[in-house]
Chain A
Amino acid sequence: MTRQAVDIREIRKSFGLEFNLGPVSLSIPRGAICALVGPNGAGKTTLMNLLMGIGRADGGTAELAGHDIRTEEVEVKRRTAYVSPDLSYRAWGSVGRAIDFVSGFYPDWNIDRCDRLLQSFGLHRGERIDTLSFGSRVKLATLFALSRDAELLLLDEPTAGLDPLARQQLFAELLKYMRSEDRTILISSHQLADLERFADHVAVMQAGQVIAFGSIPDLLERYVQLDVQLPHDAPVQSSVLRAISRQQDRACVLLDRQSSQRQSLEELGAEVISENPLTLEELFIALMKTGRTRWQPKLSAA
């Protein structure tokens, strides 16, 4: 059994001049809950779709649960569950018929768990899918993912359209799913406060690239916000400054402790007034505003 639940190497997809994904490389260890965050149009859904075989990548490779997504597609899908608001089950008419159809493909389908989730999510077998609200359709897709023992969950915006109570229920169900150590979740959402509590890793995407990846405590340790007084006489280059906000000679700066940025600032005469830790949401906003360069993964030798 490989240690990585998700191993993406240089995967890329071009959509003409408008948008290019990648090359993206990402390794998520088994047992991790990894949040995939980024602004709208960053490429999160495209990446998840490519991993799930919805669309073909132009290049690169990826393994999910130790199986190549191109050559072992069926095995990958047996071990992986995918939830997305884009998945439509309306063609099956009722909730019950959709469940009967989908469950037939999975020998590990757990009928008792499915019934419990139906009750928990407030869904009924006889309900017509086209009368369900948007949130309930997402719940139905989540039910399909959680009613079996998938090793890996790919969740694209599973909280979309859910009220706070339903969101709490969803995260409670996901935590139950994570009781087994071998299971892994890759979840994209804009609810960063929820993700900070729930996830242990985060990958930040911007314009089709992964710009930061790591365990959440490590990233929050690595990046801090500096309040700096800039020198009056010497202008500081914006590439050195990486200002989140600036008012005349005062600036809020995103500092990467692993870079020589602080030294560069001090050499230019900037005075650090205070150093403040960031929450995940603040770090996300700071990374978006400062447009960090692409994160380079350490690829292990084959």
Chain B
Amino acid sequence: MDGIDIIKDKCVGCKACFVACPYGAIEFVEKKAVITDKCTLCGACKESCRFSAIVSEMDYRQGSDLSRYEGMWVFAEQRYGKLKPVSLELLGKARELAARLNAKVTSVLFGYNIGFLARDLIAYGADQVLMMDEEWLGDFNDRIYGELITNLVKEHKPEIVLVGATSKGRSLAPYISSSLKTGLTADCTGLSIDDEGLLVQTRPAFGGNLMAEIVCPHNRPQMATVRPKVFKPLEPDYEKRGIITRIQKEPIEGLVKLIRNIDNAEGQSLTDAEIIVSVGRGIGSAANIRLAGELADALGGVLASSRPLVDMGWMPYSRQVGQTGKTVAPRIYIACGISGAIQHLAGLADIDTIIAINQDPEAPIFKVANYGIVADVKEFLPLLTEKIKQAKKA
């Protein structure tokens, strides 16, 4: 089997690899593990083997001279003059990583009439801002922005490029990484630098309760997208000095034309909420969701949802908390009837207090909750709401 092999002599038939494989690609022939053609070379088996019986032949290609790449870049996303908070959060993280690498942090800023934002970028951690301020850059366009950044990267050779995993970031980042034929890891929940100076990108994986550590050893820049609220921004320091460079280039043709924006109405957003009441499958039916809504109202909080309810059409995607939804950092998060699958937990950033209510005492959510209650949410929520209302009246 190309890529991953079982050393028969070392295999004791303990089946740890069989259990670890997310694709069911391991069988046992005469008590020894055999990898079938369902294998996708993910490497989970190798990790699980305590007898060093699984090896992978990673092809160590000689990439181009990697030592010429240095610097941490953060794409600063702005919309009509307002910076997206995720960019500031990434600047903070970039500073931390840059310290380990002894590197500088550069922020890339595009837009129209946005020059004043460069000061903020420096205050939040950038040493340098590469800026383009043109009318034809007023609206985001993945191809235009992507081409420009790709060329800047080729010119300046940063070692690491971070992009916020917003809807725009998620189409911008792959444009750049594909153009540069380098690696990109989406929705990282953790970033660190290892002893070899490699960027270690951590994210939930295999559609299950596992985490994966991903690296990009031979290609540069190493690219990652990170969801809002995963990291915290630094306290801004407007005394900090930095270099602002304005770049001018020939306009580039976009292939998508924006006709008009249809913006959502302003409402209390999930990402700013102090108290969130979140519902999962345990709520039972669409009609019961109002029970959680009533609790949220009584507490002055916001209603949110785990992914299954959104998939079923009971809640809108804008309320989804989790790896593919929003990351939230309220003071108090009340998870009602949510099992606690890893993708949901990925949406919970640093929260002061997590309270979990679930009928199943074995639900994984109890491992991360500060307070737990084993109860049927359909029965418990109205009781709780009543008590809160009564107590407030008193």
Whether chain B is bound by chain A comes out as no
CB within 8 Å of A: which residues of B?
none
CB within 8 Å of B: which residues of A?
none
